[in-house]
Structure 1
């Protein structure tokens, strides 16, 4: 190889990434992270799909046409309920191990930050985008890199997991007159009306995106009371439109499943309805043969612990303010000579 690194920019909406680029991202990620966080081509293809209102950019680091690093940045404007602080996301940043500690990762990150700033984002967050590879920085020893690049930690979130083969519901479930059952075809607008009323931000947006992607309405569980829908939760099965590997269940017994988001109406909280809905979702997964189950991206450790879930993986939420005039030269970086 010549040792000269060329940086290339791709707009996924206007120029869909080739199969070779998708495969390179998979290979880079899987080389950099442990097998229990492996991704697949299906996962990458799903996460690179266009989403309503989302702008995104891929930056590649190439040496003699070989891709040795990649980053993906995304931004959503015009949806203040979804993105009230006007931040952008660094969804992915990977560099081949043979080319790490040579300035490539830092330069890719700078290119992504420059692009986010140019779109009007006031801050950048690592992970946590609308098609996330991870909620934040996984607990794999890379947090120091982002700290050196000016990122500050503001929270820790968890994936939690359980083996539903031995699932037993808590003994204190509410006896309120409510029923939880799978959503049926034709109830899409009823689900969205509930989310617009109670969760008009990210969860409403994600439901719209899920349905636009061709997701089964029956993957949602609806909680019904005397006045209509008062809660919902989303399940992931092995054949759902959301790839199950997005939740990194590899340390768990197969078949795998996932549950979340989950929520009930604001004026019905504290009455045990959330527990009824969660139990119904878990029993449905169990009855469909799911063993290893993930509840992703949460801080409600004690609540889910009552249902047999334990901490599975931690993510550090880190962010950085972006200067409006930030300018990074793209060009070439001769960092290997």
Structure 2
């Protein structure tokens, strides 16, 4: 087995291997692989490898590790935190030590950079999965034998909307509308103040050419008090809630993340802004909608969304 640094030349092979394994549930596209690995400034090149069978020339597996490396003045993440973006081995090469070798190579690269905590998936907005897709008991057992422990449990939710047009919410004193391009600075300040955990992906959105059409905002007394992200096929950077669009006969729309300024919580504005998001997607002709990576099944269930996919997050911490 030969282990090669991961490059753009591997993308087509990775897509083929991925779709042989997961294509019926998670159909991969080259655009997702490129944006989430090669175009991510946080990809750790020394921790990104492909395994190739020297006898047949076939790709046997790959791994990609990440850590915070981007140069964004307003955002920073701990240098002790790293991610295994993805580890996948072709079925024909499993139980032959390929996966173990790839994982060890990625972990070694992260440790050499001072990383003390490694998360599987969850690598900010350019991730594929927020954890291990369920049910996959073999992978869970394999990871636990290598020192990884279970953390949070999240789900993706789905609903098909049959109505002619989803109702627009009416809330006294609060209005809902689409964000405008010229409001970028104002919106960034709102995110930095109220939702700093999503500031990085917001800044990246504008950098990728976003125009505001992917954000619904809640406004009260002329001030933005909440937001809800929406996605469709025209989004500048494909988001997790529209990754698996090829599974659906019509266009897929995505909802989330979202949030209401804590000063204004407890008045139903959160559910209302989701209703507004559904309305705007529906107005674009979208009937299939996904909300990804959430534990709030009951909350979104009030609007008819049901669990579609589920994941378990794993983490490995170095003993200090």
TM-score, normalising length: structure 2 = 0.89
Q: 3-state DSSP class of the match of 1:233?
A: strand
Task: Sort the Cα spacing of 1:261 and 1:320 in 2 relative to 1 into closer, same or farther, 3 A.
Answer: same
Q: Tell me the CA shift for residue 215 of structure 1.
A: 2.7
Contact 1:252 1:293 in 2 (8 A): no
Aligned equivalents of 1:323, 1:109: Cα separation in 2: 18
Which residue of structure 1 lines up, in the alignment, with residue 22 of structure 2? 33
Tell me the distance in 2 between the aligned counterparts of 1:151 and 1:278. 35
Query: Quick one: higher RCO (CA 8 Å, sep 6+), 1 or 2?
Result: 1
- Tell me the equivalent position of 1:330: none
Cα deviation for residue 90 of structure 1 reads 0.6
The unaligned stretches of length 5 or more in structure 1 are: 11-16, 325-337
SS in 2 for 1:180: strand
Q: CA deviation at 1:252?
A: 4.5
SS in 2 for 1:72: strand
Q: Give the distance between the partners of 1:44 and 1:126, measured in 2 at CA.
A: 17
- Deviation of the 1:84 alpha carbon: 5.3
Tell me, in whole angstroms, the C-alpha distance in 2 between the residues paired with 1:101 and 1:296: 32
Matches of 2:181 and 2:144, distance apart in 1: 47
* 1:236 matched to 2:265: no
Q: What's the counterpart of residue 45 of structure 1? A: 34
Counterparts of 1:49 and 1:108, CA distance in 2: 18
Which of 296, 300, 305 is the matching residue for 1:300?
296
Residue 123 of structure 1 aligns with which residue?
117
1:58 aligned onto 2:48: yes
- Alpha-carbon distance in 2 for matches of 1:85, 1:144: 28
Give the superposition deviation at 1:50: 3.7
- 1:100 aligns to 2:85 (yes or no): no
Output aligned runs, 1:139-288, within 5 Å: 139-141=134-136, 142-166=139-163, 175-201=171-197, 203-243=198-238, 246-288=242-284
**Alpha-carbon contact 2:254-2:289 (below 8 Å) kept:** yes
Following superposition, the deviation at residue 322 of structure 1 comes to 3.1
Kindly report the root-mean-square deviation, in angstroms, between the aligned alpha carbons of the 2 structures: 2.5
Match of 1:327 in 2: none
Conservation of the 8 A alpha-carbon contact between 1:165 and 1:286: no
Give the C-alpha shift of residue 287 in structure 1. Answer: 1.1
Q: Taking structure 1 as reference, are residues 167 and 281 closer, same or farther at Cα in structure 2, changes over 3 Å only? A: farther
| Structure 2, unaligned runs of 5 or more | none
